[in-house]
């Protein structure tokens, strides 16, 4: 695939790492938050093994930041999410949901608290900049909301700790899971957090001046190569193994937090007001009618992720849809996330899935599919972001 194929000229933005990723072998791109993201450095299974055995460096500049500052910033940010932020410290990250007035999910970003009156939302794929600016119009709160010049990289995998130590010195090993620090590397201004979208030990490195994109990428690769670092991309295999959401695929404006089992991100009993509180209270009281489950799908190994939502049947009647599916070469199984009627959501339930190759059988299983806690004792790696953060 050539970029020229798109024919869109400058309508889609390029990451500050774009030239570097092309030089390092990026052969295919997708689009996320109006920006190109490399999604092809060769065999995706090899990318998965690079991630789980060593480390990969991923251009995730598409995770655009929404910066909220001003005297009312803390109150405003709390208004944007059902998660209780009252105990959040400066230097901390939190995985949060952004819900609309109906309790539907608009995004599932990482929130960073840079100061008492200074926040970033590190976004999944939707224009929360517009949502937040829109909410602010009649809010009566004093806030400034913009997209700053910030472009994250993800350094993920079991070797990422050693690479970070080689880059930043031994103090970086004190950085706790879901905390961040403002740092410099060769004079390049950064925020460094222990977060990621891989369910592996990992870090996000937020570049705060896009003119250094090439220099930062080169520096990390140069240091990392001795540890087996490879250029890569977020792994669909690993994130489904870890039961992590992909916005638009597994959740959208019509999905509510309870359907995803994310009750812990909704604090309905806190005093503070937030958008969607009434709708979410009603949902909690009334209960849900459908639920996200894990599925193991029988049949030959899938050759790639599903490119359409597959209908899920129970005894021939439709009961839901597969939202994300892939073959895990580690588990040697086709694994999937699906949204199904609550009546068929119990572990062990047998279902049918209409794949693009025909109908097959499937079984409801626990998520995550691969339990990193078994590795924790041995490696010191963290549990998946969305499970604990």
Q: Which residues are near a copy of itself by CB under 8 A?
A: 1-14, 27-32, 34, 39-40, 44, 100-101, 106, 125-140, 147, 233, 236, 246-249, 253, 275, 304-309, 323-326
Q: H-helix or E-strand containing 237?
A: helix 236-241
> Which CB sits closer to a copy of itself, 184 or 273?
273
> Which CB sits closer to a copy of itself, 190 or 362?
362
> Which CB sits closer to a copy of itself, 10 or 286?
10
What's the min distance (Å) between Cβ of 27 and a copy of itself? 8
SS (H, E, C) 193-221: ECCCCCCCCEEEEEECCHHHHHHHHHHHH
What's the min distance (Å) between Cβ of 6 and a copy of itself? 4
CA atoms within 13 A on the CB side of 269: 3
What's the min distance (Å) between Cβ of 100 and a copy of itself? 5
SS3 content of the chain, % helix, strand, coil (to 5): 30, 30, 40
What's the min distance (Å) between Cβ of 253 and a copy of itself? 8
CA of 282: how far to CAs of 97, 271, 285, 287, in Å?
Answer: 18, 17, 5, 8
Rounded distance between C-alpha atoms, residue 220 and residue 57, angstroms: 8
What's the min distance (Å) between Cβ of 44 and a copy of itself? 6
What are residue 362's DSSP bridge partners?
A: 297, 351
> Which CB sits closer to a copy of itself, 11 or 286?
11
Q: Is the peptide bond before 368 cis (omega within 30 degrees of 0)?
A: yes
> Which CB sits closer to a copy of itself, 307 or 315?
307
> Which CB sits closer to a copy of itself, 22 or 215?
22
Rounded distance between C-alpha atoms, residue 59 and residue 47, angstroms: 14
Please, what's the b/e burial string for 368-378 (b: 16 or more CB within 10 A of its CB; e: otherwise)? bbbbbeebeee
Rounded distance between C-alpha atoms, residue 234 and residue 151, angstroms: 15
What's the min distance (Å) between Cβ of 217 and a copy of itself? 18
Q: Are strands 110-115 and 65-69 parallel, antiparallel or unpaired?
A: unpaired
- Judge contact between 352 and 310, C-beta under 8 A: no
> Which CB sits closer to a copy of itself, 100 or 349?
100
Q: What are the phi and psi torsion angles at 325 (to 5°)?
A: -145, 145
What's the min distance (Å) between Cβ of 265 and a copy of itself? 19
What's the min distance (Å) between Cβ of 211 and a copy of itself? 14
> Which CB sits closer to a copy of itself, 138 or 332?
138
């Amino acid at each position: 695939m050539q970029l020229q194929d798109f024919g869109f000229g400058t309508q889609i933005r390029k990451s500050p790492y774009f030239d570097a990723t092309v030089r390092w072998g990026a052969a295919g791109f997708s689009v996320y938050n109006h920006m190109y993201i490399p999604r092809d450095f060769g065999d995706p299974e090899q990318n998965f093994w690079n991630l789980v055995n060593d480390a990969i460096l991923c251009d995730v500049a598409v995770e655009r930041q929404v910066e909220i500052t001003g005297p009312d910033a803390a109150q405003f940010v709390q208004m944007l999410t059902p998660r209780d932020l009252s105990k959040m410290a400066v230097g901390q990250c939190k995985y949060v949901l952004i819900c609309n007035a109906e309790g539907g999910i608009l995004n599932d970003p990482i929130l960073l608290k840079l100061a008492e009156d200074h926040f970033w939302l590190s976004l999944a794929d939707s224009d929360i900049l517009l949502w937040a600016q829109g909410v602010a119009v009649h809010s009566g709160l004093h806030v400034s909301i913009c997209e700053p010049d910030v472009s994250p990289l993800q350094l993920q995998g079991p070797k990422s700790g050693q690479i970070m130590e080689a880059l930043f010195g031994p103090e970086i090993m004190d950085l706790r899971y879901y905390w961040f620090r403002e740092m410099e590397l060769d004079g390049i201004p950064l925020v460094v957090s222990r977060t990621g979208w891989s369910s592996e030990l990992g870090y996000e490195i937020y570049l705060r001046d896009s003119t250094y994109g090439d220099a930062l990428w080169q520096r990390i690769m140069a240091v990392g190569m001795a540890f087996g670092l490879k250029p890569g991309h977020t792994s669909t295999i690993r994130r489904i193994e870890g039961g992590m959401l992909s916005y638009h695929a597994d959740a959208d404006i019509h999905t509510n937090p309870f359907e995803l089992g994310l009750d812990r991100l909704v604090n309905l009993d806190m005093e503070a007001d937030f958008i969607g509180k009434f709708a979410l209270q009603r949902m909690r009281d009334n209960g849900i009618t459908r639920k996200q489950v894990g599925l193991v799908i029988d049949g030959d190994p899938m050759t790639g992720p599903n490119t359409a939502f597959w209908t899920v049947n129970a005894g021939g009647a439709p009961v839901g849809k597969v939202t994300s599916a892939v073959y895990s070469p580690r588990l040697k199984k086709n694994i999937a996330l699906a949204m199904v009627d609550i009546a068929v959501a119990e572990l062990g339930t047998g279902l049918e899935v209409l794949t693009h190759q025909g109908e097959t059988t499937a079984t409801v299983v626990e998520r995550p599919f691969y339990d990193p806690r078994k590795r924790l004792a041995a490696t010191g790696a963290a549990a998946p972001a969305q499970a604990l953060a």
